Structure 1
Amino acid sequence: MTQDTSLRFREFKMPDVGEGLTEAEILKWYVQPGDTVTDGQVVCEVETAKAAVELPIPYDGVVHELRFEEGTTVDVGTSIITIDVAPGSGDAPAAAAPAAEVPEPAEPAAPQGRQPVLVGYGVAESSTKRRPRKGAAVPAVPGAAGAAAAPPAAAPAPEQYAAAAIQAEMNGHTGGAAPAARPLAKPPVRKLAKDLGIDLATIVPTGPEGTVTRDDVHAAAQAATAPAPVAPVAEPVSAAPAAAAPVAVPAGARETRIPIKGVRKVTAAAMVGSAFTAPHVTEFITLDVTRTMKLVDELKADKDMAGLRVNPLLLIAKALLVAIKRNPAVNAAWDEANQEIVQKHYVNLGIAAATPRGLIVPNIKDAHDKTLPELAQALGELVATAREGKTTPAAMQGGTVTITNVGVFGVDTGTPILNPGESAILAVGAIKLQPWVHKGKVKPRQVTTLALSFDHRLVDGELGSKVLADVAAILEQPKRLITWA
């Protein structure tokens, strides 16, 4: 009796991992044909126009075929890998012929009871306009699959893909088996649990709709063994040495051309749009931060900050948040379509990070509500995630004000460009020991320069000056963090 290959071979399609994006580039495959995979295992890393994201496979089985090579840009909804969910049950079809598509289940009748859609499983609510295909699929392993005899099957509509993914999640991805009690967690959290040797099924989730969070994993690891290390707070990220491998230059070459794509392409377009849309004004102030540096040293020894790395960026971020509280009109956005100024009553604090893939600006949600230890924790997680190249598109959306620390490169100051949609950005220069007049005498003091760029449609010179002056006043006399807060 011949087995129905449509039930045996499952196709995993490129999902929309970031609000209606139409394509993604396959950066790296973590598996090869013949490898055994399990439900939830990360099989590849892809880069969209917003971030690099790891994709988990929703099946148990053996990798039958990788449909695209690393470096290939693939349209959303296109099959990228075939999984044999019943290996050894019969001869596989010829690799040159695409495996049959999985029958798409009907859309669930009602949304009640649907499990949360995590990265790698869902798409945006609205369908997107597909770009023309860039070409036929290329087998990832030369000689293993041969030339494709037919183009990949037409991708289903995003709504169909979402329905199939949700149904597969509810059925445990085993072709209709009873729902599996698989804990919900994002791929980075699953990887963290694996690295720490923690079984996700043993963790009590505290995240939204029963999702296991990083904190849950760390808490479980601490209970099982020793206290888990807290992600250190660091300055905004520079290019990670391990990932930023130099491009090989052939002997005698006079030029190297690097394709503009992914994060760098979108960032460049956004910066050009910001520079020529929002009228920028930049103001500068040089100040003595010796007392702030002393406070940093004191906080490092404070038991309430145990396990957290305290540095000047933490206090600069807190000073900016206090200055915004004193001058709330600076925290706004310009709505050109409706001809309105949108006043924000929350602060999503962006931290500019230079990574090998380009500049990104993840932000700390509701930073205005966080205590100093909470802000330190959030900064540490944000920087650690950016260094790993795992910042999600959601983490870079909704920012209101940004800090960029050019001082880590030894630069004194600069004229930062606004992050699109935001009203202000604070650049922090290098902190250096310099001669300074203090109490009527010239003494060596810790000195830095701050630069505040703002959208002059929203922020006039008086308001911008007040904000910058308040930040400087707090850093000169950090006790104002208490008296002004």
Structure 2
Amino acid sequence: MIRTITLPDLGEGLTESDLVEWTVAVGDTVELNQVVAEVETAKALVQLPSPYAGVVAELLVEPGATVPVGTALLTIAVDEPAVVGDAPTTSPDAERPAEADVSEDTTEVAAPARTSVLVGYGPLVEASARPRRRSRSADWVAAHAIADDTAALALAGRRIGPKVLPPVRKLAHDLGVDLNRMEGTGKDGMITREDVLHVVSGVGTAPVVDRSEARTPTVSRPASRMVAAPPASQPVADPREVRIPVAGVRKQTAAAMVASAFTAPHASTALTVDVTPTLELLAQLKADRALEGHRISILTLVAKAVTIALAGNPSLNARWDEAAGEIVQYGHVHLGIAAATPRGLLVPNVKGADRLRLAELADAIGALTEAARAGTTTPADLAGGTITITNIGVFGVDTGTPILVPGQAAILAMGAIRRLPWEFQDQIALRSVLTLSLSFDHRLVDGAEAARFLADVGAILARPGTVLRMV
């Protein structure tokens, strides 16, 4: 019996992944839950286990390809009955019957308690233990690129509308993009995240006939996508050019930054601080035997200052809930630490950073940055951040205006520490000076609130004893 393994839902709203490499080949024998491939999402590298034991019959996707959730990846020949509720036994190219009842309940196998099994994967369980999955709505089916237009119209109640996944629909709503005026570039006309972002940036797909004016659905497919005509003459390519595919973390980071820039009204402010007393404190902490083995750095002290300052400035530890029309102020601080890695920019976060002691905070930051650079960051580490610090000073840069991490109210940039002539005790002396740059969402944070927060962080770094009056 031939069984098909598809790309599972990896959670966190991710709709696609890049296939990095196969760990098996055609003809290989695989065991249940054996890793068969490695995929890269916007969050992390993930190992894909096999839900079947058998022999690899066919590899359907080339390494490096970007595939949506639900795409057939490989087929396996098995000797035993298939797990209920997984991919169909037919070839991935087989068409779905137009008369399929999409409202019928389906079942899902519960994954065993082990980290290597992904959503929707796992060994066979007893029928009584199989939880029921809620019915799939007609709108969901219409959004998932059904092969037959007649079936798509019938399943959607004959409503003529764009094919688009829910996360992309929400992004379009947030950016004010009219999906009814777009033609998608995805499979079977699916409108993708990139289509929406291209419209916002002024390039991309051309508008189509307004679907709201249509009265009679048609069964025939459009001849082709409507795209901008190429220029009359193309420049000769420079053989020295290097073209790098935009995929994985870099692709998702680019999309997130565009979405952030066009949804959150950014504002910024900066403060230059004499951090000589903080560096003197840092030297004392490093010499303290009680802290031996803990890598306390200037980043650790700035992170601690941020968590303390947030207690008196909660508006910077918040998010904008568009659907509810509310500002949500968090009761915890999940502190994001931006890390430059070979795969692109990652922002893992320290969970409950406001509850950690200095040594614990140092250890947590060190572990997250090491995992990010090694490519072992988990999706959980990257999800749920509430405010972020980015240390651009390690690159010798003094200041900048960072873009907000989507969904967060503020991001603080640390510049390089410089020895500069500075006013000290009514005289000019060489002091260690640091510039802090704060970008914030002006919907959530007023200029005065941002200034008070930044002044509090600066006061702690300029006079560490100041913290005694803040806690």
By the TM > 0.5 criterion, same fold? yes
1:464–1:39 CA distance, 2 compared to 1 (3 A)? same
User: Paired residue for 1:457?
Assistant: 443
User: Could you tell me which of 353, 377, 385 is aligned with 1:367?
Assistant: 353
SS of residue matched to 1:269: helix
Matched, 1:122 2:122: no
- 2:107 is matched with 107
In the TM superposition, residue 116 of structure 1 has moved relative to its aligned partner by 4.1
Question: Is the contact made by 2:66 and 2:247 (CA closer than 8 Å) also made in structure 1?
Answer: no
SS at structure 1 position matched to 2:62:
coil
Equivalence map 1:283-432=2 (5 Å)? 283-432=269-418
AA aligned to 1:394 is A
Q: In the TM superposition, what is the alpha-carbon distance from 1:98 to its structure 2 partner?
A: 6.2
Kept in 2, the 8 Å contact 1:51–1:391? The answer is: yes
- Separation in structure 1 between the aligned mates of residue 120 and residue 351 of structure 2, nearest angstrom: 23
1:409-451: CA deviation from partner (whole Å, max 9, x where unpaired) = 1100001111111111101001122222222333222211001
- SS for the counterpart of 1:27 is strand
- Does 1:30 find its partner at 2:27? no
Give yes or no for contact 2:12–2:383 (8 Å, CA) kept in 1.
Answer: no
Question: Separation in 1 of the partners of 2:368 and 2:283?
Answer: 22
The answer to whether the aligner puts 1:433 opposite 2:419 as a matched pair is yes
- Counterpart CA distance in 1 for 2:421 and 2:34 is 57
Structure 1 pair 38–289 and aligned structure 2 pair: CA distance change class (3 A): farther
Quick one: structure 1 residues 84 and 374, their matched pair in 2 at CA, closer, same or farther if it must change by over 3 Å? farther
| SS class of match (1:422) | coil
The 8 Å contact of residues 22 and 38 in structure 2, kept in 1 or not, is answered as yes
User: CA, structure 1 residues 107+286, in 2 after alignment: closer, same or farther (shift >3 Å)?
Assistant: same
Query: Aligned partners of 2:68 and 2:266: how far apart in 1?
Result: 37
For the residues of structure 1 that align with 2:117 and 2:272, how far apart are their CA atoms? 47
State the Cα deviation string for residues 379-437 of structure 1 (Å, max 9, x = none): 12211221122323332222211111111111000011111111111010011222222
**Unpaired runs of at least 5, structure 2:** 80-89, 95-105, 122-132, 148-236
Post-superposition offset of 1:287: 0.9
Q: 1:56 to 1:123 in 2, by over 3 A?
A: closer
TM norm structure 1: 0.63
Quick one: structure 1 residues 372 and 35, their matched pair in 2 at CA, closer, same or farther if it must change by over 3 Å? Answer: farther
Instruction: Give the CA deviation at 1:78.
Output: 3.7
Give the partner amino acid of 1:322.
Answer: I
TM-fit CA distance, 1:359: 2.3
Distance in 1 separating the partners of 2:22 and 2:431:
52
Per the alignment, in what secondary structure is the counterpart of residue 246 of structure 2?
A: coil
Q: CA deviation at 1:347?
A: 1.1
- 1:74 aligned residue: 67
Q: 1:43-97: per-residue Cα shift (whole Å, max 9, x none)? A: 32212244332223455666554332211233433442445678xxxxxxxxxx9
CA contact (8 A) 2:33 2:117 kept: no
Q: CA deviation at 1:34?
A: 5.3
Structure 1 partner of 2:259? 273
Letter in 1 for 2:107: E
Q: 1:274 to 1:115 in 2, by over 3 A?
A: same
Letter in 2 for 1:122: V
Q: Distance in 1 between matches of 2:67 and 2:146?
A: 8
Contact map agreement 2:296 2:359 (CA 8 A) in 1 = no
Equivalences for 1:234-253 in 2 at 5 Å?
Answer: 253=239
Contact 2:45 2:377 in 1 (8 A): yes
In structure 1, distance between residues paired with 2:13 and 2:399: 37
Structure 2: distance between partners of 1:15 and 1:447: 50
Secondary structure of the equivalent of 2:12?
coil
> Would you say 1:476 and 2:462 are equivalent positions?
yes
The 3 A distance-change label for structure 1 pair 294 and 264 is same
Q: Where does structure 1 lack aligned partners over 5 or more consecutive residues?
A: 1-5, 87-96, 135-250
Letter in 1 for 2:62: E
Paired residues of 1:49 and 1:262 also in contact (CA < 8 A):
yes
How far 1:351 moved relative to its partner?
1.4
Looking at structure 1, the residues matched to 255 and 310 of structure 2 have their Cα atoms a distance apart, in angstroms, of 28
Q: Distance in 2 between matches of 1:78 and 1:266?
A: 19
Which SS does the other structure have where 1:287 is aligned?
strand
Assess, with a 3 A threshold, how the Cα gap between structure 1 residues 44 and 480 changes in structure 2: closer, same or farther. Answer: farther
Asked if 1:45 corresponds to 2:38, the answer is yes
Q: Distance in 1 between matches of 2:3 and 2:287?
A: 55
**Aligned-partner Cα distance in 1 for 2:421–2:252:** 43
